[in-house]
A and B are shown apart, each in its own frame.
Chain A
């Protein structure tokens, strides 16, 4: 079923027309309500009237994560804070996190696009959706929740964790839809078997898995073990959260809801569009948001795009499963982690720049392991083991506070972290994604 036939199946000409109209309004809106964008437009020498439609999109300046950081917390809001109904927070590169704000209209939009995702993945009227993404500052849980409500389905808001309870409720309530990170779907297998459940007999028939990169082999594993269809959902809090793009049953790229999120794929170095079908950085303009609309936001995600109509009937362009990032951001258990955040934590603890290395691995239970190796320096070395252990515990605690996920901390000997051309290699990602 297609939730919004008019928007998801319009012709390319109709889409272009709608996008152009919305882009013109957006630029005028930002010029009027956002001091940050007004300054950006002035700097580019652009009056709102200069933007006639999508053909002028590339004249507009980019927005980056740094813009969000520099205007922390509410500097990019276009409405008074009292008009903001909800805020969400995700990782920033250093220091301040990334804050996003939603007006009531934005929350309605969020529900709308996630509802489209649910039906696109294969939901049917009457379904129950088990939302096993974390509820809270992370957009995963509440995004899927609002979408479930908007889609007229039944929400089972289990949030993440408490796996045995998840499985009991699945067995007793028989939800047809599961939404969580793909690694959590696989992680639940062990507990299911320990409880004597046959995963192939689970009630889940369709999964919306996202918030972290995952491979076709993981898809194969989820589909075979749980006997369900595993689809990819994409989003980022800066744009709206989950609901920016979604795979349909053909699993041939993720449909971008282009009536509200205008995509571009660019060469990350030149900032120029790459030809259709070639890899580049995905960039979004939010066409209809009110609280914190963004123009040409650099997602740093690498993908390619096609405008061919899909076999499902949707005309929305499709982006390929993601192919890495243009920056060093890691996604660990669905949480964005920047090596700079880890460095920041270490600097604050010691007051010196220690040598460190981040090792990410995906264990047999499919959950990601984050280990931070810190080279011991004479400045903080002690002959007393309890002092060293307290230091380890403090780093671990600070790390968890800042990153929002648990990290293993390992103290290592100097020079044990490999250096190439004198520069330490900061991140070792052993996962095969």
Chain B
């Protein structure tokens, strides 16, 4: 049950992040989770949005480099040690996490964390085997 992340190349220049958010807002696209990785002169913006196809189109139309990446949104108990429990499973199963970040919102007593694995399919199998709940793309709109 992977979900689509939109990854955007951003130069370290004033107003670039604003421009992305403005475009998405104008097109009624809602950002559910986001993270920025930065290097010296550039950054990569990663977002989970409710309408990924529309988001990629509007960004491309405005000359942004916007690609799709498969990620997994994992439900985690919102209590001390909740994330550790999931990471324990992952490390035991020798699964590499390229990066991860938390959702802007959460539902009830669960927190949502986006994982980018080096092997998404393997990760999904393992998470299912350990009864760790992952969010489906369709569920994102309702969050």
Residue positions of A touching B, CB distance < 8 A: 376-378, 381-385, 388-389, 392, 410-416
Contact = CB atoms under 8 A, between A and B. Distances in A.
B37 A411 contact: no
Contacts of A383: 5, 7, 44, 46, 67, 69, 116
Interface stretch (B9-17, B125-133, B134-142): B9-17
A379 to B, nearest CB: 10
Question: Chain B interface residue count: which class?
Answer: 20 to 34
Contacts of B98: 384
Nearest to A415: B63
B99 A414 contact: no
B41 interface: yes
A413 B10 contact: yes
Given A382-B7, A383-B5, 12 more contacts: A376-B9, A376-B42, A381-B7, A383-B7, A385-B38, A385-B44, A410-B41, A411-B11, A411-B41, A413-B13, A413-B16, A415-B63
A381 B13 CA distance: 18
B103 interface: no
Interface of B: 5, 7, 9-11, 13, 16, 37-39, 41-44, 46, 63-67, 69, 98-99, 116
Nearest to A412: B11
**Main SS class of interface, B:** strand
A378 B39 contact: no
Contacts, number: 57
A413 B9 contact: yes
B39 A389 contact: yes
A378 B65 contact: yes
Contacts of B44: 382-385, 388
**Main SS class of interface, A:** loop
B122 to A, nearest CB: 18
16 contacts: A376-B9, A376-B65, A378-B65, A378-B66, A378-B67, A384-B44, A384-B99, A384-B116, A388-B39, A388-B44, A392-B39, A411-B11, A413-B10, A413-B16, A413-B65, A414-B65
The 7 closest A-B pairs by CB, nearest first: A383-B7, A385-B37, A415-B63, A383-B69, A376-B9, A381-B65, A413-B11
